[in-house]
Structure formats: C-alpha cells, structure tokens
Structure 1
C-alpha cells in the first residue's frame, strides 16, 4: 500500500487552478477555493488562478499558456467535465496532451463510486502531460475536487509518497527532447 516516507523532504509543487464555468466568478468559485485551500494547506504553491467560460479554444489556449510558463508545474481545472453540450474541458485538455494518464479517470471513478455510487459514470475526469506539465481536469463540484485532491492528488503530488509519485519523475517528462 501507499505510504509517506518521512525520511524524505517535502518538495512544494507550483500549481495553477483553472475554473471552467459560464456562471462562476471569483466570489462564488467554491470548487476553485476548495482546490486552493487544499493545495496550500499541503505546502504547495498557488502559481496562478483564473476562471474561463466553457469554450474549448479559450480553455486550450489558457492551458497552453500555463504549460509554457516555467513557473507552473501542474494545472488543475475544475468544471466542464460532464455530458452536456457546453462541457468541453475534456476535449480542450486532450487538444494539448502529449500523453494521457489513462488510469487517472479510472481511479477517480473508483473514488467517486464510494461517495456517489453509480452517478460516478457521469464524470469524464481526465489527466495528461504536456510540455513537462501535469494537467488534471476535475468535475466542477467542491465534493469532487475534495475527493480528487484528498484521495489521489495529495499523494501523487507528494515527493515522499511511496512506492512512486508524479513529482519524482518531473525531470524525466521531457527526456525525449534531450540530445543523445
């Protein structure tokens, strides 16, 4: 099972939070607030935060801008992962992925099943890597953000987590670009 190796030093990660919504503003962005509270309480750094409407091209453009920013290691978006016509976050994420982290959606579904039962099938949570940056697309509810952070991301974004974690392979995400 997983564990935290207390003999290792914690490594803070620089995380950007993107809320995708046609209706939310900073004053009522509860899902974004949930993510910010959790990531900062864990010792990570909030590198950027914004809200964007459910428009695929705009979402993908924001993702690309943050991927290009060397001060951002991870992007977590919330909202737009459902099944309605305006839910295009997953498509925008996939527009920029170099590699998809297929198991993330599966693990998120398992976590969600414990909380909301078969309603978990309505989520299209996804994750991937682009430009040496991890990207995670979460549903737009505070509960889903809590579950994803507490059950998956808090551990995988902790360098001390064993047997493995996302942080320890940061240096290798773009090794294919190095000259041999």
Structure 2
C-alpha cells in the first residue's frame, strides 16, 4: 500500500516497471477529492496514455447504474514495456471495470513487447487474425 502522495505513487510505478513487471494495477485515487492523485502520479512517469481504457471503465460503470462514474479519472498508460492500469477503489467497481477492459490487456502487452498471455476458455481475449 502506498500513501496518497504523487511522488510516492510515481516512484512505486517506476520501480515496478524497472523490475520488469508487464502489468501494474493500482486501485483508488481517481476521484475529485484533494487526496486523489493517482492519475497525476501516473502521468509523471508514463510515456503514453491509452484513453480508451478509462472511457470504457466509466461507460461500464454508468451502465451498472453508477451516476458518479463521470467523476472518475481512471486511465491506462505505459512506461516502457509496462502497462499501468488505474482501477477504482471499491471491490465491486474493480470487478466491473477489470471485466470490461481485460480482453484488450493481453494484446496491449504484446504490442508493448511484453509477455504473451493466454486467456482461459472462460475469459475471451482479443487478438487480431494473422495475415
């Protein structure tokens, strides 16, 4: 667990990436409260942002009847070959959002040069057809 401080969160993300982690997931810190600084920390160390992840997480939460989903600043970004995913802080919301974006994660890791992950029969992952 990392305190709600930009530099501490940014350092933790950077350390995981330098250690070779392909996927780093954080939970919480995405709302409008003063102490919600996880997106700022991610932007401090990440190279690229993938807006579609946050858009889909917010949409899925809205579909689940959570009108405050529009306040969320969830996002995904990368630092080198590491995908960094910022999820909500509540367990039910984490499940909703992770279920929504998971099908794209293995392919994103492939494109970043990370490990090739295979889904089980219960989890559908997207990979384009080989030409």
Range into which the TM-score falls when normalised by the shorter chain: 0.7 to 0.9
**Counterpart mapping for 1:29-178 below 5 A:** 51-70=1-20, 72-153=21-102, 155-158=103-106, 165-171=107-113
Equivalent-residue separation in structure 1 for 2:66 and 2:97 (angstroms): 15
Residue by residue over 1:101-142, the C-alpha shift from the partner in whole angstroms, topping out at 9 and shown as x without a partner, is: 011111111111111342111111011011210001111011
- Whether the 8 Å CA contact 2:30–2:72 is kept in 1: the answer is yes
Equivalent-residue separation in structure 1 for 2:48 and 2:89 (angstroms): 23
SS in 2 for 1:150: helix
Larger Rg: 1
Q: TM-score, normalised by structure 2?
A: 0.81
Please identify runs of 4+ aligned residues in structure 1 that moved more than 3 A.
none
The CA RMSD measured in Å over matched residues stands at 1.4
Q: State how many pairs are aligned.
A: 114
Equivalent-residue separation in structure 2 for 1:137 and 1:167 (angstroms): 16
Which structure 2 segments of 5+ residues have no match? 115-131
Which protein is richer in strand relative to its size? 1
